[in-house]
A and B are shown apart, each in its own frame.
Chain A
Amino acid sequence: MVTALLLGTLYGLIIGLIPAAGATTGLVILFGFMSYFTDPYLGVVFCMATVAASTTGDTYSGVLLGIPGANSSAATMVDGHPLAKQGKATYALTAAITTSTINGLLWGTLTFALLPWYMNLMMIFGVPELWAFTMLALACVGFVSNKFWVRSIIAIIIGTFLGMIGVDPVTNADRWTFGWDYLADGIQIMPMVAGLFAIPEILDGLKKGSATTQPHDTRGQTWDGIKATWKYKWDALRGGAIGAFVGFLPGIGGGVADWMAYGSTLAAHPNEEFGKGNIRGVIGPEGSNNAQKATSMIPTVLFGIPGASFAAVLIALFMYLGFELGTPDLAADTKFFSALTYGFMWGTVLVAAVCIALNKYICRISYVPYKYYFPLLVGFVVWACAQYTGGWEDYAILLLCSLLGVFGKAYKYSRPAMLMAFILSYKVETLTIQMSALYTWETLMTRPIFIGLILLIIILFGLSLKNNKLEYS
């Protein structure tokens, strides 16, 4: 188990350090290696350590190069990179890592220690509540995560269409396969995630991939970074709370939480200047990302509804290992929960210790020119996506999804919305069928959680139309 933890952490850290990579890309690549885990619980430890370590590690490229390691470090970059240019990279990195670790551990404890207890929710959440929760997920991604809400709706329609390709749940007949047998099993999650996220980010990294700061003097900066976390602890905790809340809402990625945390930091300090190297601008968003990763496991494990795009890949990976998330059997599997907790918590601690102790050396990895990573990343992602049948169809689907992802990124059609609609559309359809078979309007109106969730969707919709300014796509 220790070996899985160490390797998962090391792998996650390396993935995090690579510009434009991140947890989702790292997990997509893992798909090709899942068969090597003879003990599935070791696979869970490895995956969770990867998530924790890559989330911490992706700060490096944002701060040092001005290229976010993943969406979740883009907000950190705004003030982190100017600090690096001023020769204070270690100061910024240490503050970021310390904040990220503390919030990861805090919210990780609250999430994983209580996750078996949260499983009781599964018995309270019936078909109507699951339907409403799924609709809430769609509403969150579509309307909360992107100010271009018309484009979000278009993205949702595209995702819905793609998600409904396969089999009609009522007749069991093929649907929208255009005579292509390969599509009768639906578009697979791996090429969809890789095409929408990994490939566009990798291509983006190639475009931006050049170092803009030089290796720096670390004397005294490490301790200053730790002290800054304590000094600005309320910014760190506020960021963590925002990340935890957003993580719990299914379907919203780390980028959203980070920008919200960054925005709240700005709002809390209206008289301070940001964007030119304010350490609060690093601590605020960094508080959110590991917390968000932890709490997004709640809807993911409980209902099989991914808390974020990385969690969508986790669901597929865990399925490969024999763990079907969102099922009652899992509630009794204490070993599974232990593996989740062990991988995430120790991965968080370990990567922080390694980063702070070996900061100077780790920085050098970020300076390796991107052109060396590029072929490796593309190769691994393509290979991972071709694990479904190994046939040309796998490559064709990945290519089509990649074109869609590049287009969505360029023209700000919310890719998280598209992915969530893709994942949830079949669920929405089947839950609607189930709800209409099992319930009437009268019986639905006696369910307070269902009514509450519907009201929440309406409120979110109203608020997002009025207030949303995020441009995350």
Chain B
Amino acid sequence: MKKLLALLIVAISTTAFADYTFVIPQKPGGGTSQWAQIIAEQLEPFLGEKIVLLHQPGARDIPGFNNWHNDMRDDDKVVMVSHGGNGVAFLQENVDYNYDEYTSIGLMNLNIIAGKRIGADMDYPKFAAGSGQTPEAWAMAMLICGPTDDHREMVFYAACFKEHVTWVSGMSGSERRLAFKRGELTGTRENPAAYKKHVGGDDKAEVWFHHGILQADGSHADDINHPGFQMEILYEEMWGVKPEGEFYNAYKLVKSFRDGMQKALWVNKGNPNAFALQNALTAMSQDADAVKAIQKKVGQYDWLIGADGDAHRDTLMSFITKDALQDLVWFNTRALGLASVYKEELLK
């Protein structure tokens, strides 16, 4: 019945001319919604068919993805649009969707940049909290607290984090930006395009660190736009050793799932239209006008299309280990106050 209803919604929401439906897990106007809108506009001519956006909003953008996974993915014409927040939720919340069961049409591999107020004491930063900021919390803990010989590594980092970082809950993105501009927060984070827009032009702010860009071999490379500020590079400069250990492994897991699939298009495995969609996306990504139009709205990102997207996803899945998952949940719960859950089933 539920499935029938969902398909009915798809049918009603699409016009007679609509051939493809992009399911977006948020309200119109949201970041991913805007991204999907511009991608759909640019993709249509290369696909030769109409694309209709179907918004399925819900808490933390999870219900829309769940609905697609449970009720819509068997429809060959329905494509899921996901974002980095879905990746973090996949690791630490009870969601139905599972990236392993899909074929990638294409995804954007992204980096997140953390900025700071010039002259602020970043041994004691003030930073906006939230599940979206989880990787920054892990990076801050490592940069501020450094390596440890303590056999209770997680306990050490949790205590150090709580002592040093003012972790301010309840801030929306706009509140966070405003509080940073006013100097109430001394640190903030943005994707590259938003960083340029919100922090780059602020003469009282500068780059603090970034997470690096995930490579095919599972390593993270420095960002050419902010060279020398990758967390791993800064850590080595500050503490004289490379970051390693269980805390670092869990950090790598969560940052990769958020940034590595920041924006992604998925269809169900075995979808006969996957090839046509991938071809259209390849053509679009090579078209100067389309690329220009997309970059104008959403910034410059690299596409990983088709098999490359699947391989990228597989790299991410290889980061999931029992220890990393348990550590992620432990630190999120104890140090960050988030209601994270340990998902044994991800290890299967």
Binding site for B on A (CB under 8 A): 34-35, 122-123, 126-127, 166-174, 181-182, 184-186, 304, 319-322, 324, 326-329, 388-391, 429-431, 433-434, 437-438
Contacts and interface: CB of A to CB of B under 8 A. Distances in A.
22 contacts: A122-B178, A123-B181, A126-B182, A169-B169, A171-B338, A171-B339, A172-B60, A172-B339, A182-B58, A320-B27, A322-B34, A328-B177, A329-B174, A389-B58, A430-B169, A430-B171, A431-B170, A433-B169, A433-B170, A437-B167, A437-B169, A438-B168
Contacts of A35: 28
Given A320-B29, A390-B12, A390-B13, A172 B170 contact: no
A186 B63 CA distance: 13
Contacts of A433: 168-170
A185 B57 contact: yes
Nearest to A330: B174
Interface string B36-74: 000000000000000000001111100100000000000
A420 to B, nearest CB: 19
Contacts of B175: 430, 434
Interface footprint category on B: 35 or more
B58 A181 contact: yes
A320 B170 contact: no
A140 to B, nearest CB: 22
A391 B5 contact: yes
B197 interface: yes
A126 B126 CA distance: 15
Contacts of B218: none
Interface string B156-179: 000000000011111110110111
A148 B56 CA distance: 41
Contact of A438 (B28, B29, B126, B338): B126
Interface string B19-30: 000000001110
Contacts of A438: 126, 166, 168, 184-185
A172 B174 CA distance: 18
Nearest to A429: B170
Contacts of A391: 5, 9
A171 B56 CA distance: 23
Interface of B: 5, 9, 12-13, 27-29, 34, 56-60, 63, 126, 129-131, 166-172, 174-175, 177-179, 181-182, 184-185, 197-198, 337-339
A322 B29 contact: yes
A166 B184 CA distance: 27
A92 B197 CA distance: 52
A328 B170 contact: no
B169 A321 contact: no
A122 B174 CA distance: 12
A322 B170 CA distance: 22
A123 B126 CA distance: 18
B34 A172 contact: no
A219 B167 CA distance: 70
Contacts of B185: 438
Q: Which 8 A-B pairs have the closest CB atoms?
A: A430-B170, A184-B59, A173-B339, A169-B170, A327-B174, A171-B339, A433-B170, A185-B59
Given A122-B178, A390-B12, A433-B169, 5 more contacts: A127-B179, A327-B177, A329-B177, A388-B27, A437-B166
B130 to A, nearest CB: 7
Contacts of A429: 170
Contacts of B58: 181-182, 184-185, 389
B330 to A, nearest CB: 15
B57 A388 contact: yes
Contact of B59 (A166, A327, A389): A166
A389 B169 contact: no
A320 B27 CA distance: 8
Contacts of A127: 179, 184
Contacts of B168: 433-434, 437-438
B178 A181 contact: no
A185 B26 CA distance: 10
Contacts of B57: 185, 388-389
A342 B338 CA distance: 46
A341 B131 CA distance: 39
B334 to A, nearest CB: 12
A184 B166 CA distance: 27
Nearest to A388: B57
A429 B169 CA distance: 10
B220 to A, nearest CB: 26
Contact of A126 (B59, B167, B184): B184
